[in-house]
């Protein structure tokens, strides 16, 4: 009886300690669980990351750019958000240039851009910037902070 109890004890610990490897990346998981859609046939532009953690990714389809980022407003459960902009009149290059200049400017703490879906506000701490996007319904989401090198990689200009 004692041997049977010891054997059962080992089986119970063994069943709780098994680890299963998942093939799904965080981005493929969130694309299926959150109402953010990247159109089929979109071209990858760039991504900003810290070590192995992705802060934001950018995709392009036709004349539209899609930026997807982890919403830092969520504390317990990670959420993701995105915004889209049209590259009318060279807005893509103007936005990239404006962000880089904003990082280098002393004293200025915020800068805003009006987009068709809402307002994109840049906030700066020292030499780091993050996106705050407020949609037309008034909901705000915040990206992680990025430096100049990460912004260049996000915009595919590294």
- Do residues 133 and 140 touch, judged by C-beta distance below 8 A? yes
pTM reported for the whole predicted model: 0.73
Q: Is 3 exposed, middle or buried (0-12, 13-18, 19+ CB in 10 A)?
A: exposed
Question: One digit per residue, pLDDT tens: the chain, 158 residues?
Answer: 766 656 655 554 444 444 443 444 444 444 333 445 677 888 999 999 988 888 899 999 999 999 999 888 766 556 788 889 999 889 999 999 999 999 998 888 899 999 888 999 999 998 999 989 998 888 888 999 999 999 999 999 97
Does residue 47 sit in helix, strand or coil? strand
- Do residues 52 and 64 touch, judged by C-beta distance below 8 A? no
| Domains defined along the chain, listed by start | 24-154 (2.30.31)
Scored b (16 or more CB within 10 A) or e, 47-67 reads bbeeeeebbbbbbbeeeebbb
């Amino acid at each position: 009886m004692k041997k049977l109890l010891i054997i059962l004890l080992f089986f119970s610990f063994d069943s709780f300690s098994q680890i299963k490897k998942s093939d799904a990346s965080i981005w493929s998981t969130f694309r299926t669980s959150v109402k953010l859609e990247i159109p089929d046939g979109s071209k990858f532009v760039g991504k900003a990351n810290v070590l192995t953690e992705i802060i934001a990714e950018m995709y392009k389809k036709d004349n539209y750019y899609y930026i997807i980022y982890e919403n830092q407003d969520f504390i317990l459960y990670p959420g993701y958000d995105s915004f889209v902009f049209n590259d009318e009149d060279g807005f893509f290059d103007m936005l990239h240039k404006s962000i880089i200049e904003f990082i280098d400017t002393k004293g200025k703490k915020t800068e805003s851009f009006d987009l068709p879906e809402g307002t994109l506000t840049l906030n700066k701490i020292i030499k780091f910037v993050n996106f705050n996007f407020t949609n037309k319904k008034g909901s705000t989401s915040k990206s992680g902070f990025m430096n100049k090198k990460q912004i260049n990689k996000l915009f595919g200009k590294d």
